[in-house]
């Protein structure tokens, strides 16, 4: 579903991402982890179509910046950026109109209920807490019933009930065949949901393996994370 091939991105002279390649299949939850500055956000923003980059990124076989790809693709950025003077419901309606969704209101209501936001429908963006803004951002991404969805640090700012709800939603999406990519620093927050682990360090993917394959070796993701990222550091 998601194919990233030889993705490279430079900011001036800084090579933030260097020939990164990986795939996330339908019904698979990939987790992208790495130390600060590893290149995770740059990778995520490139996939989301927000940056110019070298290489190829396709979603459902279409170039990631094409309308066809955007139609099936949801993105929850690290920092929610809501419209200050649009209400929660306005945001959902905006997405519904932009994507030409039919019969979206029941889905929108159900999403808001799951995140305890049904009494906040009329609140405007600037009057929402950071966690509430994050919830709206998640609801907007899920409203389109994406076939591929990407979350950058989705749990930050969410209360425990919302974290539990989001984890359940991730499993539901996966079971419906959606491909999911999550970037996070908090390994515990996704410990029980991921299928494929991608570890980035210094702009490169230094580890790419599935939970099933790792179960055979018996190594924990946390252990592999430190061995891969520290090993790279001592090589310098």
Structure tokens at 184: 């996070």
| Nearest residue (CB) to ligand ATP, 29 versus 38 | 38
**Residue 22: closest CA among 36, 43, 50:** 43
Q: How far is the CB of 105 from ligand ATP (least distance, A)?
A: 36
Q: What is the DSSP letter of 124?
A: B
Tell the smallest beta-carbon distance from residue 26 to ligand ATP (Å). 26
Supply angle C-alpha 184, 236, 32, rounded to 5: 15
Q: Are 40 and 7 in contact (CB under 8 A)?
A: no
Which residue, 14 or 110, has its beta carbon nearer to ligand ATP?
A: 14
Tell me which residues touch ligand ATP (CB under 6 A).
11, 14, 16, 34, 36-42
Which CB atom, from 82 or from 199, has the smaller least distance to ligand ATP? 199
- Minimum separation from the CB atom of position 38 to ligand ATP (A): 4
Residue 135: count of CB within 10 angstroms of its CB = 27
Q: How far is the CB of 210 from ligand ATP (least distance, A)?
A: 22
CB nearer to ligand ATP: give 17 or 69.
Answer: 17
Rounded Cα–Cα distance for residues 64 and 56 (Å): 8
């Amino acid at each position: 579903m998601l194919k990233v091939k030889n993705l490279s991105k430079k900011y001036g002279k800084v090579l933030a991402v260097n020939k990164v390649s990986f795939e996330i299949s339908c019904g698979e939850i990939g987790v992208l982890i790495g130390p600060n500055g590893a290149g995770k956000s740059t990778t995520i923003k490139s996939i989301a179509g927000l940056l110019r980059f070298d290489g190829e990124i396709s979603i459902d076989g279409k170039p990631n910046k094409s309308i066809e790809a955007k139609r099936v693709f949801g993105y929850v950025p690290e920092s929610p950026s809501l419209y200050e003077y649009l209400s929660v419901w306005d945001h959902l309606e905006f997405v519904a109109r932009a994507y030409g969704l039919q019969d979206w209101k029941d889905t929108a209501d159900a999403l808001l209920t799951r995140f305890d936001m049904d009494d906040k429908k009329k609140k405007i963006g600037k009057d929402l807490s950071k966690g509430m803004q994050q919830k709206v951002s998640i609801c907007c991404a899920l409203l389109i019933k994406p076939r591929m969805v990407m979350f950058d640090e989705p749990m930050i700012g969410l209360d425990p009930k919302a974290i539990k709800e989001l984890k359940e939603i991730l499993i539901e999406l996966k079971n419906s065949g959606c491909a999911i990519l999550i970037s996070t620093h908090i390994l515990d927050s996704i410990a029980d949901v991921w299928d494929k682990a991608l570890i980035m360090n210094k702009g490169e993917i230094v580890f790419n393996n599935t939970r099933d394959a790792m179960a055979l070796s018996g190594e924990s993701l946390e252990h592999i994370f430190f061995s891969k990222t520290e090993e790279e550091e001592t090589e310098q």
